């Protein structure tokens, strides 16, 4: 069996998580000036002034971030949202038979949640509380019919996770009309169909949770992803517009946009993963050479050169060619 070093799991997100609980934690940093005070430092000693200013700065940052989320959710300064009861939820996940969707479906199922997976392929799982419905979410007629069946058999969904997506990985001149149609139908239009199917009852009940899973590709352009980037940019715009429509037109104050941990908090959030994705929106105001450097550093313009489309293959594309995955290679080593 091949040994794998412990630092295989080390990435920027882990480093940032550690820093958030140490160097950038208000609780941790407030101990620093206190430590120096008991070591004999007195005002206005430089070390005391600097550490106190740093503590105030860190605390102000987290307070503003917390208050911004509270304001976005029309929350109370004194009272938090009620406890989220997972046992009462019916969660619909599009594209839930593989990838991120499958992971979310099985994670929620462990919490004894009633999970509904909409996909063109069945989900392979041992969790009894996952119900699969074959549905091509890119087609309104199928979404509408499936939604009616779900309501009749299980009840009205309370959480909608729009996860379905497809990648062609081709240069713009190599994209066929069918490729482009499929990309926008799955990555963008499908969200309209599921919202039209499940949102009316959520608005009626004035409660619900909507999760739209987009991509950093929707904020920047990347080679061999022209259709994908454009479809995800449209999704980001849809997400933001939906938020304001729910807040100001439908007066639906209880809605939330999040993933599992954020659902527990019941606060509307935009979650950027991995961590560096938080800085992508600022690239638009940077000098072009800074933007190009970031593009080069990430290698995103060349990441699709050996891409092989696996999911979402149309009949005319035939089956996906067999490739040895990392897991298969490790299995051979074992």
Question: Who has greater pLDDT, 24 or 196?
Answer: 196
CB 283 within 8 A of CB 294: yes
Q: Nearest CA to 222 among 212, 232, 235, 213?
A: 232
Starting at the edge strand found earlier in the chain, the sheet holding 159-162 runs: 130-134, 114-119, 90-94, 159-162, 208-212, 255-256
Domains and CATH numbers, the chain: 6-72 (no CATH), 86-271 (3.40.50.720)
**Mean pLDDT calculated for residue range 229-246:** 89
Share of the chain above pLDDT 90, in %: 37
Residue of 228, 244, 250, 272 marked active site: 228
> pLDDT tens-digit profile of 171-182?
999 999 999 999
Question: Who has greater pLDDT, 325 or 32?
Answer: 32
User: Rounded distance, CA 210 to CA 162, Å?
Assistant: 8
Question: Who has greater pLDDT, 95 or 250?
Answer: 95
- Is 302 an active-site residue? no
User: pTM for this structure?
Assistant: 0.68
SS3 191: helix
Q: How far is CA 284 from the centre of its chain?
A: 21
pLDDT of residue 272: 53
- Counting runs of H as helices and runs of E as strands, what totals does the chain give? 11, 6
Pair of tokens at residue 153: 């058999």
DSSP letter for each residue of 25-61: -HHHHHHHHHHHHHTT--TT-HHHHHHHHHHHHHHHH
pLDDT of residue 68: 73
User: Rounded distance, CA 215 to CA 272, Å?
Assistant: 9
pLDDT grade for 192, boundaries at 50, 70 and 90: very high
Question: Who has greater pLDDT, 293 or 82?
Answer: 293
> pLDDT tens-digit profile of 57-86?
999 988 887 777 677 666 666 666 666 677
Pair of tokens at residue 188: 């963008």
């Amino acid at each position: 069996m091949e040994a794998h070093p412990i630092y295989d799991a080390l990435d920027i997100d882990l480093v940032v998580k550690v820093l958030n609980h140490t160097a950038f934690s208000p609780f941790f940093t407030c101990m620093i000036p206190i430590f120096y005070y008991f070591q004999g430092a007195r005002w206005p000693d430089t070390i005391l002034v600097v550490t106190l200013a740093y503590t105030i700065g860190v605390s102000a940052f987290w307070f503003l971030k917390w208050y911004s989320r509270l304001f976005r959710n029309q929350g109370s300064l004194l009272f938090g949202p009620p406890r989220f009861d997972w046992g009462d939820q019916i969660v619909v996940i599009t594209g839930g038979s593989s990838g991120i969707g499958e992971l979310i479906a099985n994670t929620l199922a462990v919490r004894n949640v009633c999970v509904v997976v909409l996909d063109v392929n069945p989900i392979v799982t041992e969790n009894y509380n996952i119900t699969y419905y074959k549905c091509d979410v890119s087609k309104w007629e199928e979404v509408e019919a499936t939604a009616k069946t779900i309501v009749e058999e299980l009840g009205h969904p309370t959480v909608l996770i729009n996860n379905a997506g497809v990648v062609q990985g081709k240069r713009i001149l190599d994209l066929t009309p069918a490729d482009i149609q499929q990309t926008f139908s799955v990555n963008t239009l499908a969200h309209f169909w599921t919202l039209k199917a499940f949102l009316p009852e959520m608005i009626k009940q004035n409660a619900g949770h909507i999760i739209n899973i987009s991509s950093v590709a929707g904020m920047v352009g990347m080679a061999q992803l022209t259709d994908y980037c454009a479809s995800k940019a449209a999704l980001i715009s849809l997400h933001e517009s939906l938020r304001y429509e729910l807040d100001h037109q439908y007066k639906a104050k209880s809605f939330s946009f999040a993933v599992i941990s954020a659902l527990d908090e019941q606060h509307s959030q935009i979650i950027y993963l991995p961590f560096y994705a938080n800085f992508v929106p600022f690239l638009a105001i940077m000098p072009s050479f800074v933007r190009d450097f970031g593009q080069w550093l990430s290698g995103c313009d060349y990441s699709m050169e050996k891409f092989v489309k696996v999911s979402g293959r149309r009949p005319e594309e035939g089956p996906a060619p067999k490739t040895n995955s990392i897991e298969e290679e490790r299995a051979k080593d074992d």
